[in-house]
Amino acid sequence: MNREKSRKIYEEAVKYIPGGVNSPARAFKAVNTGPVFVKRGYGSKIEDEDGNEYIDYIGSWGPAILGHNDERLMDGLGEVIEKGMSFGLPTKIEVDMAKAMVDSYPGMDMVRMVNSGTEATMSAIRVARGYTGKNKIIKFEGCYHGHSDSLLVKSGSGTLTYGVPTSLGVPKAVVEDTIVCRFNDLEDVRKAFAESDDIAGIILEPIAGNMGLIPGDKEFLQGLREITEENGALLIFDEVITGYRIAYGGAAEVYGITPDMACFGKIIGGGMPVGAYGGKREIMKIVSPEGGVYQAGTLSGNPIAMHLGIRSLNILKEDPSIYEEMIETAKKIEQGFKINIEKTGVKAKIVRYRNMLTLFFGEGEFKNFDDVEKCDTDMYAKYFVEMLDQGIMLPPAQFECMFIGTAHSDRDIEKTIEANYIALNNIK
Ligand SMILES: *Cc1c(COP(=O)(O)O)cnc(C)c1O
């Protein structure tokens, strides 16, 4: 597959943008190949600058759950734009969006829109600290919550891939208030609470998607719910990936566990840069201008982003079978890959939870960061390139998820399973 144009653009890009990209994963460094520059997307496919077509399992890292350029999303967008792009004053659609989110998410009474998932988590922990009057935050090894200072500790995904457990430039003093525990390990959390009475809250991805896919055990999440209640700390679900993906009501709905606060991003912008955080009324009332926790945003609640966000939510809500269909699609991939792994004898394991998947190049159980760290990332890199050359766009690192959307067709899945067999056979 010829990617000469992508290569040329990349040569230019590195002169003007650090690493040639505006977010590290896009450089494809973890898979020892150059980035693919995208020209356009349609349905389940994207086309690169060289005219190659790929079945897309990155889906903009989740937002493209309806596929690219969905007609229902684009419909009426021109009229919205004609009215004006941004005012820095409130618009009605922001209220509609907040109401749609509050209606969808268990235990959430109020929500504040921001511009990214990073902003959402950063603001949520500020609220937790402001509300409880305590300072420390528990996070889990391998969970990613964006790139704000205090959460950029042992944070999976890009940081995991590039071997930087904690970023340069993060002050020691900030990190001292972040306690890192083992995912799916309740004892570790109990120990942290036994050692400190200054814990404001726990933030986690209830279904981790940034160390490859690792769903939280139900007992673990239930335990966290109990521990936080006993200790006057807040439980914060980072549903930036899982919100409106894993189910309309996110992981909270699937597990039947209601957190005190939740963070959103990705899907809720329908492709535009958006985030949100929300929670119980008594907690959210502390946010400025109602309360004393300051948080603001010039472009927050942007009308175009709200338009695409609310359209996405409505489409996902209208058709109750939409999630079941995505899960069926994911199951077919799981089955197909499983058979291919057996046939080729490659040391790999496909993990699926509802409509998310990761193919781990390793064996045994994947319960936490230590387990995934043992994976053979060189094998993943080879596998990725083999798949790419067959027109399958996978996440360009072992520690990420394949995102299934409504646009993936049976034909796409068949092609993907066939390509998987060839790839595994070539790299074994
Ligand atoms: C992507 C992601 C974030 C950060 O969102 P950005 O919009 O990239 O800032 C936070 N939490 C989780 C779980 C994510 O996957």
Residue 144 catalytic? Answer: yes
Q: Is the CB of 108 under 6 A from ligand 1?
A: no
Asked if 244 contacts 279 with a C-beta cutoff of 8 angstroms, the reply is no
Q: Provide the residue type at 169 as one letter.
A: G
Mutate which of 115, 145, 239 for ligand 1? The one with the most ligand atoms within 8 Å of its CB, which is 145
Asked if 316 contacts 249 with a C-beta cutoff of 8 angstroms, the reply is no
Q: Which residue in 54, 57, 105, 144 is the catalytic one?
A: 144
Res 65 pLDDT > 70: yes
How many angstroms separate the alpha carbon of residue 170 from the centre of ligand 1?
18
Residue 167: the pLDDT is 83
Handedness of CA 217, 220, 224, 230 (dihedral sign): positive
Would you tell me how many other CB atoms lie within 10 Å of the CB of residue 427? 19
Predicted TM-score of the model (pTM): 0.97
**How does pLDDT run across 269-278, given as a tens digit for each residue?**
999 999 999 9
Residue 96 catalytic? Answer: no
How many angstroms separate the alpha carbon of residue 414 from the centre of ligand 1?
31
Q: Is the CB of 240 under 6 A from ligand 1?
A: yes
- For residues 26 and 31, what is the distance between their CA atoms, to the nearest angstrom? 11
Q: Show the tokens assigned to 358.
A: 């990761």
Residue 170: the pLDDT is 86
How many angstroms separate the alpha carbon of residue 4 from the centre of ligand 1?
31
Residue with tokens 């993990």: 351
Residue 158: the pLDDT is 56
**How does pLDDT run across 69-114, given as a tens digit for each residue?**
999 999 889 999 999 999 999 999 999 999 999 999 999 999 999 9
Residue 389 catalytic? Answer: no
Compute the average pLDDT of residues 304-309.
96
pLDDT above 70 covers a percentage of the chain that reads 98
Compute the average pLDDT of residues 202-210.
98
Q: Provide the residue type at 259 as one letter.
A: P
Q: Show the tokens assigned to 323.
A: 């999630």
Q: Is the CB of 265 under 6 A from ligand 1?
A: yes
Burial per residue of 376-413, b for 16 or more beta-carbon CB atoms within 10 angstroms, e otherwise: bbebbbbbbbbbbbbebbbbbbbbbbbbbbbbbeeebb
How many angstroms separate the alpha carbon of residue 165 from the centre of ligand 1?
17
**How does pLDDT run across 388-425, given as a tens digit for each residue?**
999 999 999 999 999 999 999 999 999 999 999 999 99
Res 161 pLDDT > 80: no
From the list 355, 373, 354, the residue with the least C-alpha distance to 364 is 373
Q: Show the tokens assigned to 217.
A: 């055990």
Res 199 pLDDT > 70: yes
Q: Which residue has the higher pLDDT, 174 or 237?
A: 237
Residue 163: the pLDDT is 44
Q: Show the tokens assigned to 277.
A: 């955080």
Three-class secondary structure assignment of the chain: CCCHHHHHHHHHHHHHCHHHCCCHHHHCHHHCCCCCCEEEEEECEEEECCCCEEEECCHHHCCCCCCECCHHHHCCHHHHHHCCCCCCCCCHHHHHHHHHHHHHCCCCCEEEEECCHHHHHHHHHHHHHHHHCCCEEEEECCCCCCCCHHHCECCCHHHHHCCCCECCCCCHHHHCCEEEECCCCHHHHHHHHHHCCCEEEEEECCEECCCCCEECCHHHHHHHHHHHHHHCCEEEEECCCCECCCECCHHHHHHCCCCCEEEECHHHHCCCCCEEEEECHHHHCCECCCCCECCCCCCCCCHHHHHHHHHHHHHHHHCCCHHHHHHHHHHHHHHHHHHHHHHHCCCCEEEEECCEEEEECCCCCCCCHHHHHCCCHHHHHHHHHHHHCCCEECCCCCCCCEECCCCCCHHHHHHHHHHHHHHHHHHC
